[in-house]
Structure 1
């Protein structure tokens, strides 16, 4: 039966292999920062200026606010279900996105992600705070492929652009509340109005809580209770035509241990993943249960974000200034043996401070030469403290283990131009110059707060872009592009610096050369695009483990190629269909000394004795690999979505659903271990809106078929953890608009 289901899933994959995710024509307000709909056309800002999506030579997944609601998207990571080729993984609370196989599993000070996340034009660099609840979101754009010219450092895999609503002088109030399985409660409110002519404000708040869906086999109690709150306010001043100032403040408070609650790993290839000294009753492989000892796991985050956006019409061009300060503090306690044995519980308090400033100048629509120019400054300081935690997790119960800190600075200037050679031929050329520095870095000696400084590093980088585009008519575009991206260099203060002989590895920047050809069409109720790509990916920054120590090195060389695309078709005024797929062939060409997790009990008596003396259950054996799958990269992902509208009781009933499929994926860093087979999830929603469009009542279900699969693996010398997806959830939502 299982093989039959897998064969059916494969046939479904082939059937939609020419498409990727939905793009519905939503009625979004047109502004100078986010995507919108103008006369039925999808308008995006992938090139930092407003353009029709069909005219932009980049593979883009665009999700409007209504799409996000009908797909039950609450958090940023949920968009993976409607964005084939995109994954979101967690490692002890660290948020790690992957696009077309380009991502990172590194967890270290100054490490960062390979995918840039921008909210209202502001860069959000902290992987401990990158996943978040979506507040008044109008749209999300997923830009696939390196974006090194227009968005810069650490956009090797692409960029995710989130656009929220601006304050408006026209009064509007919206409230939402939902309740679902596992006592999940969500309440959200948004209001915007004018204080005076040319002065508008908005304020919004969100509260989420739940009891969790797992149980501890020791106590029998449910674990994973969470409580998240967010408050956001904005003040928009328009003192003159062509001039606006938007000031924003946001506070987030997250208390959610869910990513830190894995069961022990077990599969037919690897075998058991629990510590060798764990007795029955101290570990479980059950997908709904965990085993904990006397020490509590937790993840708590507090952030305060201050932002200022100035937009000015200079006559010859539009100027936008983005000024930001972010203060994010995280406190977490992680069980590193993933069992009920009190072996090693590590605390990781992190303090992160970010300052950024960007000036963006864009041309006016109309001339044959369209251009974007900018200056960018970025400074991010993070400080990691590591502790060994005892029961209670209080400061007094924590033993200082070590820590590290880095301050990352980046200065950049860029110019991107598109010239209309003729009504049908266009050429785009651009380049970004960046200087990245890591300064004031240090690591803490073991069991002390003594700071050992390390020398500064710097690097100059130029990332060019060249595109040729042919436009047969207003509804179609064909393009071929070359782009370059990079992930900045790292000082390995969290790893090699702290281990004998106490010499920091020279972790050079990752680089990627990307070639892409694509076709886009939009017209007569049909929107479609298809892209083929080839990546030459070098100097991957990967984590290796030797004798119980961790370090980051440049090791793997990779080759990635594939196809992805998207189709949305308005069959009738009442029925919309969306199809999407991504085929990604991602392989490590050369992976020197790749980490292979090996149980100590399979080794010689001498090695077993060393393991016992060290308290570890697994050793990491380095092995040279070639032509093996890349970590966290399924070969095929796809989705099918539908939305049907029917009149009911004077109002309107919307029925929608989304089926998502993923082929097998390997979570191990070598790409050969910790396999999860293919799986599917199905989301359904039925929403009725009254004739006055004031109230909506919806029934929703997520993973309604109760498909169970592992969404991640966490691995150490002490144990291997398996993170399972949430069981089927369902509930009711009420929405009111005034």
Structure 2
């Protein structure tokens, strides 16, 4: 089926280089996780991918989901600013940062590609790419359903049905749905109620038409809805908020400005409602010497948020914003047939997008702003086996981006900015297969992220940030050292220039995001993974990431520091200029370790499976001044599943965050407050599943 590959042990198959090949043969760092492995690890949302992927950290800032791989990630939260780590669902780019937090349902596998992927995957994939591949319809009738319940009123249901829609089997279809809710896990001590609840729903439909051998057509539709105010039901870290400047004696400070985890004191219950519609079509034709593929997609998103910016009961800095976005993407590529010494791929892609706050009402002041984007790219890559088992690869992408920004503060006239960027990004790889299941490689690649506007101010709508660039060097190896044991290792060095970064500050009394370019950063690191399957029912896996993510040159960074009056911190921050050269990049722990294990045994004609997963992370920083820090933490999840005889029914008991760790799910550092919200504390649940 289009874009799909069978994932089987020991030869895990991926499409990381836009063709089906064994993971052990791909000359780059790739983590591939099957849907079953995600379930065993307790990874149910895109943010949970941090738990199972070395070097990946997925954070949330306000409404935006921001992945970071090896220290390369987005630090901006303006409309129309695409992430540095591109996210794809079934080969289609998800360009809107505010729409990429969702439930992982009906997943075949997820591939996390590390390092710049500009040649094959796009102009903005400077940090890497996340490919989410959902299950394809099969000719046989298949179906499954599950229901889960747990602490905090957690309730989740899933259902999938697929099969042939005509007697000849040329038309296949599938439909899937997932719904989840909970009552929340945060106490609003001012309103005296539980908040942080979530209601989410997503449904997907697929149609595959195979009129004859060598020709396939696919049509997909997706609708998702998410209501989750937990990221806005936070607290001022260490009590740092402007709310402290205007205290109300009638409200005790421990109520008005809580500092105990899982407590908030917003004046009202915040709102986050996100709706996304997505449709994409694919065509694939076998030409004999090559395969011609094309896709076209259209998406539309509407995200409404109402938040209390000072997160205290003493003041009311409110922000009511409507993010409205839509985009379309078209691509045509041609890939050589396998079997020859020369393998190649070439293609063109087009992207059009519009993303606006329309309107944003900030403390009663209304404005409309955002940007439109039009982009074109042409790319090609070829691999040649110059000697037996010695391969060289060369690739290149040409990118052209046009952006138009708009800022409107009624009744003033609209302000516009226009800019155009072009770029050429190369890739070169040498790979030597020194065994049937072993190879060494060395690569050089470049990543490019287009310049962008943060049009939240009149100045920001006219003056864009310059494009980012990453030059990446990597050497690595992959080998199956003995039956059941596969080991990978890679060392890398990134030279990172013109980092786009936002400082949130107050301009003429209005909270705004101002874009800057940091001149230079340098990332050095080492990654290693091991998967050991000593028996078909016993598996161990481990992943280690070591980083040195330094800003090497940024003498005039704008950072937020606590406001001091008469040697006393009065609450909130002031934007000041500081030399942050030598500081760490944000969201880049210097050490992280992923561990997992599963073991199955036969009991009473069925199978009992024990599974566990753990992430150990060193501290990391949340802003370039390295003032606000996420302390070191670990997350441990586990489950016990019993599948009844016949393999049609199962029951699972699971636990999440078993060691009750405090770690942030979201943060926003501004002149108003250091706002953080914590991930869910320890909780347990049970799942009942059935399949045809």
What's the TM-score, normalizing by structure 2?
0.95
- 1:597 CA drift (Å): 2.4
- 1:230 CA drift (Å): 1.2
**Structure 2 SS opposite 1:108:** coil
Residue 73 of structure 2 corresponds to 103
Residue 637 of structure 2 corresponds to 683
Q: Distance in 1 between matches of 2:318 and 2:506?
A: 19
C-alpha change, 1:80 and 1:525, in structure 2 (3 Å) is same
Residue 287 of structure 1 corresponds to 261
**Structure 2 SS opposite 1:691:** coil
Contact 1:278 1:339 in 2 (8 A): no
**Structure 1 SS opposite 2:36:** helix
Q: Distance in 1 between matches of 2:445 and 2:458?
A: 33
1:13-412 alignment to 2 at 5 Å? 31-37=1-7, 40-196=10-166, 197=168, 198-266=170-238, 275-278=244-247, 280=253, 281-293=255-267, 295-388=268-361, 399-412=364-377
Contact 1:185 1:209 in 2 (8 A): yes
Contact 1:116 1:124 in 2 (8 A): yes
Residue 549 of structure 2 corresponds to 586
Q: Distance in 2 between matches of 1:544 and 1:596?
A: 6
Contact 2:370 2:454 in 1 (8 A): no
**Structure 1 SS opposite 2:136:** coil
- 1:506 CA drift (Å): 3.6
- 1:491 CA drift (Å): 2.5
Q: Of the candidates 433, 447, 471, which is equivalent to residue 471 of structure 1?
A: 433
The structure with the largest strand share of the pair is: 2
**Structure 2 SS opposite 1:182:** helix
Q: Of the candidates 420, 442, 451, which is equivalent to residue 406 of structure 2?
A: 442
C-alpha change, 1:700 and 1:564, in structure 2 (3 Å) is same
Matched, 1:511 2:469: yes
Residue 9 of structure 1 corresponds to none
Deviation digits for residues 571-622 of structure 1, max 9, x if unmatched? 22331110111001101111232233233334689xx9xx9xxxx8321111
Contact 1:555 1:591 in 2 (8 A): yes
Bigger drift between 183-192 and 572-581 goes to 572-581
Contact 1:32 1:50 in 2 (8 A): no
Residue 460 of structure 1 corresponds to 422
Q: Of the candidates 514, 539, 547, which is equivalent to residue 498 of structure 2?
A: 539
Deviation digits for residues 650-672 of structure 1, max 9, x if unmatched? 100110101110001111233x1
Contact 1:564 1:581 in 2 (8 A): yes
Residue 573 of structure 2 corresponds to 618
Residue 497 of structure 1 corresponds to 459
Deviation digits for residues 152-172 of structure 1, max 9, x if unmatched? 111010000000111222101
- 1:559 CA drift (Å): 0.3
- 1:272 CA drift (Å): 7.4
- 1:556 CA drift (Å): 4.2
Stretches of 4+ aligned residues off by more than 4 angstroms: 271-274, 545-549
- 1:406 CA drift (Å): 1.1
C-alpha change, 1:413 and 1:264, in structure 2 (3 Å) is same
Q: Distance in 2 between matches of 1:658 and 1:455?
A: 48
Residue 381 of structure 2 corresponds to 416
Deviation digits for residues 281-340 of structure 1, max 9, x if unmatched? 2110111111111x3311101111111011111111112211100011111112211212
Contact 1:542 1:556 in 2 (8 A): no
Structure 2's unaligned 5+ residue stretches are none
C-alpha change, 1:530 and 1:602, in structure 2 (3 Å) is farther
C-alpha change, 1:272 and 1:495, in structure 2 (3 Å) is closer
C-alpha change, 1:309 and 1:278, in structure 2 (3 Å) is farther
For these two proteins, the number of residue pairs brought into alignment is 680
Q: Distance in 1 between matches of 2:563 and 2:46?
A: 39
**Structure 1 SS opposite 2:120:** coil
- 1:450 CA drift (Å): 5.2
Contact 2:505 2:670 in 1 (8 A): no
C-alpha change, 1:39 and 1:187, in structure 2 (3 Å) is closer
Q: Distance in 2 between matches of 1:451 and 1:405?
A: 15
C-alpha change, 1:379 and 1:632, in structure 2 (3 Å) is same
1:635-654 alignment to 2 at 5 Å? 635-654=590-609
C-alpha change, 1:449 and 1:303, in structure 2 (3 Å) is farther
Structure 1's unaligned 5+ residue stretches are 1-30, 391-398
C-alpha change, 1:352 and 1:603, in structure 2 (3 Å) is farther
- 1:372 CA drift (Å): 1.4
Contact 1:114 1:157 in 2 (8 A): yes
Residue 28 of structure 1 corresponds to none
C-alpha change, 1:278 and 1:188, in structure 2 (3 Å) is farther
